[in-house]
Structure 1
Amino acid sequence: MTTPARPPRTGKLARTAIAGLASTRVGMATLRHRLRGDDAQAGSPAATAARQAHEAEIGRILMGAMGQLRGTALKAAQVLSMDADFLPAGVRAELARSTHQAPALNRALVGKVFRQAFGCEPEALFSHFEPTAFAAASLGQVHRAVLPDGRAVAVKVQYPGIADTLETDLTLLRGTLNTVGHRLLTLPDSTVVDRILGEIRRQLLEEVDYEHEAEAQRWFAAHPLHADIVVPEVIASHSRRTVLTQALLHGHHVQAWCAQQPPADVRNRQGQALFDGLLHAALQLRRTHADLHPGNVLFLPDGRVGLLDFGCTQVLGRPFTHGLARLWTQWTARPRADAAALHGSYQALGLTSPSLGLDVFERELLPAVASVLDWATEPFTAARFDFAGKSLPPRVDAPRQAALVRHLQGMTAEMMSWDRAWLGLMHLLRQLGAEVDTRHANALLAQETA
């Protein structure tokens, strides 16, 4: 049984001390790395292994601090882990472990949230309310309950004080990355760091507002992504800014679902729904669910897929979807588009400065992004793609990481959300082992470039 947790430490002094200790530990780890001379033979297998071990150590230090802070700090760790162009691969891998690491709250704190939101205990609102959460994440936890009319529901309860820590946490994270990160981790300059953290701040402000999430969830329910994708109904009467009640879906997360060894045709049907549904949402509805980690997708026994947690969504403008479709079709075309065309697409998407010349783009940036583009567009290279053989996200070596830092301006809100969604989808479909027909998706890309 999970031990109930105390609420996160919301005091600025306590949270600053945790972040400060993490910065000190990162500095000491880097000093040890340099004193050992691990970089003396840059490019050698020994130096590469030492650098990867150093990145992992730094990632563990940062993850340890964010795990203590919990709440928005832990959620920020999840978002940062999804950006392949920002943090070194070893650091990202450790931060990615942040998913579902928050322990459950005790009964007294759950009651406090309900009294503040509704003026009463949960037992006064529901005919039955399970006091022990069945799911917990960085910002809240979920309880099973039954409405007075007999409908089974899932009730998401936000951890007390989470919203109040947001600004403090991002200030601490910004300070850590600016004073330690760009010197020791080869991160971008402070302007790019601020831009990325500003976008994380926007996402987190939305995610701690369950009324905003309920509105987004109702929008997706009214604009179906696919016939086999289910969005649970929001129960407005039992929802507030810190409590979200929705219809309970009975299904399994991807690992538990695959453990039951569902037939290949069922897995393929579900994978097809997710693949086509996300691209339909982005390229035709111009909005994306930006948090497709395994905890937010349920595989239902009837072959459909349940989509959860709409706290982080993003409206996608036509210039972005056109630019993305153009870049991906240029990359997968045979013969591949020339460097000048790819240079134009990167600039149109706002990923590079207008002052970045074609010669530098072709010589330095294009080799650095090639493996990332190969990985992202891999499913579109065949009429049917088997995700059981999907490659893992590429590990970008130190020279190419440095090129990304020098030449990429940082992510726009649209690109950051899309990258997060696409990475989550690729991981899900790989775990599911689904084989999908990509012809409809390729047609959508071609239509968007017209």
Structure 2
Amino acid sequence: MSGKAPHSGRLARGAIAGTAAVKLGMAALARKAQVLTQSDDAGTQARAAHEAKLGRILFGALNQLKGTALKASQLLSLELGLLPEGMRRELARAHYQVTPLNRALVIKLLRQEFGAGPEDLFAGFEPQAFAAASLGQVHGATLHSGEAVAVKLQYPGMAASIGSDMALLRGLLQGLALGSASLPKPEVLARMMADIELKLAEELDYRQEAEQLRWFGRHLASMPDLVVPRPVAERSSQRVLTMTRLPGLHLNEWLASGPCQAERDRYGQLLFDLLLHCVFVLGRLQADPHPGNSLFMSKGRLGLLDFGCTQTLSPAFCAGLSAAWNALLRQPCDHQALQQAYLALGLISPELGADRFRDELLPALNPFLAWQVQPFTQAVFDFGQHPPPPRTHADRQRTALTHLQSMAPEMPYFDRSYLGLLQTLRALGARVRTTNRWIHA
């Protein structure tokens, strides 16, 4: 491994962001000149290409900064409906393109945390990481007891860079706003960025993740086919998390093994039931929906990985969510009940009248809302036939962003989890019983 630590100097990180800001500004000027000479169809294609270009510029800077800046780009890429599609697609590359740390930095971190190197802490330690992410990487190891474990190591300088990284990212997003009319209101974007900053601080404390592993391990014990890793306290700290290593295959590997339809359906049902149980029974989500966070294990069991990002859901939020989706599922749609639910969820202002809600906001949202609740329109739903989320027309997106003033703090985390679930179930081609006591017509 020849990877380097993320750029840690404030001047170096500022220079990277500054270069990106200049590129964003130049792209915005070029786009304004282009708009004057284009037809509607050509303008639509050019707008999509322009938004993808802005996303590439932003991702290029964040990939150099790595760390908290790169993690923030992952979270932004999941904000379906808030960022233009081309921009989100480019930012989503942060899930897959990360440079790992070299061996010297690994040894240094372990000595800083425990006063000993890997040869003393473990009976065996794999110098090559088997998984890498924006905030850290994971190595295989063996305890002196013979138990196989996974050791998650945080990249150096992460906690110290949160504030400066988020300030740089806010500046870059302001540059994006100059070049795109499809970004949310400044106050919505500010709320979203503040929430991401808070979650990053939590995710960088591996002691918090160890506690979440223990909590979910206890509260999911009633679902024996779900397996949560057990943290190893004596080999864990704020920047190192050691946990039992689960054997199994990630989604693409498991699909490549040729599972039958019954196996696909069984795992799909398990994942679907898990989300509803977490939302409406536990009131707490594992809120990082990346497909790599599930392991398909032997005997039909499912391993759950990465509890760094979790979110508590208030009873009021769960009630509002249920009311909104139930209103959408009624035929015809219960506009009054839906508007009241949106008010309760903080999505719209009380000043928005019923006529404008029905005639302006809902037509802008309807394609996505119909797609979102479609699985609940049938007792058994074939997710293999569920299309990807519909593309949002720029005019509809602008209309929606005009009326959507904010959101309940839990909403982004539920959205990420639900959309991640739909993505996984579609890949599985699973047929799932979706009838339940919380969401129905």
Name the TM tier (shorter chain). over 0.9
Cα distance in 1 between the residues matched to 2:248 and 2:312? 28
- Would you say the 8 A contact 1:228–1:270 is kept in 2? no
TM-score between both structures, scaled by the size of structure 2 = 0.96
Is the partner of 1:314 in helix, strand or coil? strand
Shift of 1:183: 5.7
Describe the superposition over 1:239-269 as per-residue Cα deviations: whole angstroms up to 9, x where unpaired: 1111111111111111111011112111211
Q: Is the 8 A contact 2:207 2:238 kept in 1?
A: yes
| In the alignment, structure 1 residue 340 sits paired with structure 2 residue 336 | yes
1:160 aligned to 2:128? no
* 8 Å Cα contact 1:117/1:242 also seen in 2: yes
Mapping for residues 190-205 of structure 1, pairs under 5 Å: 190-205=186-201
The residue number in structure 2 matching 1:17 is 15
SS in 2 for 1:311: coil
Counterpart mapping for 1:380-395 below 5 A: 380-395=376-391
Contact in 2 for aligned 1:38/1:47 (Cα 8 Å): no
Determine if contact 2:25/2:178 at 8 Å carries over to the other structure: no
State the distance in 2 between where 1:253 and 1:333 align: 38
Indicate whether 1:30 and 2:28 are aligned.
yes
Confirm whether residue 370 of structure 1 aligns to residue 332 of structure 2: no
Partner of residue 147, structure 2: 151
Greater CA drift, 371-380 or 174-183: 174-183
Q: CA shift at 1:182, angstroms?
A: 5.5
Aligned with 1:263 (options 254, 260, 265): 260
What residue identity is the alignment partner of 1:205? A
Q: Give the superposition deviation at 1:211.
A: 0.4
Q: Could you say what the CA RMSD is over the residues aligned between the two structures, in angstroms?
A: 1.6
CA contact (8 A) 1:226 1:276 kept: no
Does residue 286 in structure 1 map to residue 283 in structure 2? yes
- Measured in 2, the distance between the counterparts of 1:227 and 1:368 equals 43
* 2:345 and 2:407 in contact (8 A); partners too: no
**SS in structure 2 opposite 1:155?**
strand
Q: Residue 239 of structure 2: which of 239, 242, 246 is its match?
A: 242
Percent identity between matched residues is 49
Q: Distance in 1 between matches of 2:414 and 2:182?
A: 24
Instruction: Please give the secondary structure, in 1, of the residue aligned with 2:137.
Output: strand
Q: 1:6 Cα shift?
A: 0.7
**CA offsets per residue over residues 308-358 of structure 1, 9 Å max, x none?**
100111110010000001111111122321x22211111110111222222
Which of 416, 420, 442 lines up with 2:416 in the alignment? 420
Structure 2 equivalent of residue 444 of structure 1: 438
Q: Distance in 2 between matches of 1:119 and 1:376?
A: 51
Contact 1:217–1:310 (8 Å) recurs in 2: yes
The CA deviation string for residues 77-106 of structure 1, in whole angstroms up to 9 with x for no partner, is: 111111123211110111112103212111
Of residues 101, 107, 113, the one that matches 1:111 is: 107
Kept in 2, the 8 Å contact 1:178–1:193? The answer is no
Normalising to structure 1: TM-score of the pair? 0.94
Give the letter for the 1:103 counterpart.
T
2:25·2:175 contact (CA, 8 Å) conserved in 1? no
Is the 2:181–2:398 contact (alpha carbons within 8 Å) kept by the matching residues of 1? no
* Paired AA for residue 276 in structure 2: L
Where does 1:53-68 land on structure 2 (aligned, <5 Å)?
53-68=49-64
Shift of 1:411: 3.4
Instruction: Say which SS state the counterpart of residue 298 (structure 2) adopts.
Output: coil
**Could you tell me which residue of structure 2 aligns to residue 213 of structure 1?**
209
Which residue of structure 2 lines up, in the alignment, with residue 52 of structure 1? 48
Q: Indicate conservation of the 8 Å contact 2:51/2:180, yes or no.
A: no
For residues 307-318 of structure 1, the aligned pairs below 5 Å read 307-318=304-315
For the pair 1:298 / 2:292, whether they are aligned, the reply is: no
Aligned-partner Cα distance in 1 for 2:115–2:431: 50
The Cα of 1:402 is off from its aligned counterpart by 0.8
Partner SS for 1:154: strand
Deviations 1:26-68 (A, max 9, x none): 2212222222236743xx3322111111111111111111111
* Cα distance in 2 for residues equivalent to 1:68 and 1:274: 35
Whole-angstrom distance in 2 between the partners of 1:121 and 1:193: 43
Contact 2:287 2:417 survives alignment (8 Å) = yes
Asked if structure 1 preserves the Cα contact closer than 8 Å seen for 2:70 and 2:134, the reply is yes
Match runs of 1:90-105 below 5 Å: 90-105=86-101
Q: Specify the SS of the correspondent of 1:443.
A: coil
1:145 is paired with a residue whose SS is strand
Tell me, in whole angstroms, the C-alpha distance in 1 between the residues paired with 2:282 and 2:37: 49
Amino acid across the alignment from 1:445: I
Correspondence for 1:86: 82
Paired residue for 1:359?
A: 355
Q: Which amino acid aligns with 1:204?
A: L
Quick one: structure 1 residues 277 and 323, their matched pair in 2 at CA, closer, same or farther if it must change by over 3 Å?
same
